[in-house]
Amino acid sequence: MNIGQASARSGLPIKTIRYYEEIDLIRPDRAENGYRDFDDGALDQLNLLAQARIMGFSLEECRSLLALDADPERHSRDVRALAEHNLQAVRDKITSLQALEARLTDLIGRCHGDEAPECAILDGLCHGAPQSRA
């Protein structure tokens, strides 16, 4: 199948598929005319990448997942370790987002939201303590 068909079946934009090839994450075959040719195995790789990226795996973690998927002698503990590492990163991000939510809630709660020029939100953004980024 061509790149357009692979894109439609995997849900990945064509530009993303080309990028994954550029960084040597995938290696589709080439037809005689030079066009990319995706077989079922390549489509499985694209599906793995699409789902792994949705779950927050980094590109390097995706590279490891692809290598593990291709290794018939892999150990499931290695896949699990990657997933556990990713889960911790997701949990850390949730914690960071919850702190961001609390700060925004506080700023909004302190703003009168009336016609006066004083604004607790702007004051908090300009003069508040620096916060870590989510």
pLDDT at 131: 57
3-74 maps to which CATH number?
Answer: 1.10.1660.10
- Bridge partners (DSSP) of residue 37 are 29
pTM here is 0.79
- Phi-psi sector, 74: left (phi>0), alpha (psi -120 to 50), beta: beta
Average pLDDT over residues 123-130: 80
Instruction: Output the CA–CA distances (angstroms, integers) from residue 111 to 19, 60, 76, 95, in the order listed.
Output: 45, 43, 52, 25
pLDDT of residue 37: 92
* Residues 49 and 38 sit within 8 Å (Cβ to Cβ): no
Mean pLDDT of all residues in 37-58: 96
pLDDT bracket for residue 127 (50, 70, 90): confident
Write the pLDDT tens digit of every residue in 48-99: 999 999 999 999 999 999 999 999 999 999 999 999 999 999 999 999 999 9
pLDDT band, residue 45 (cuts 50/70/90)? very high
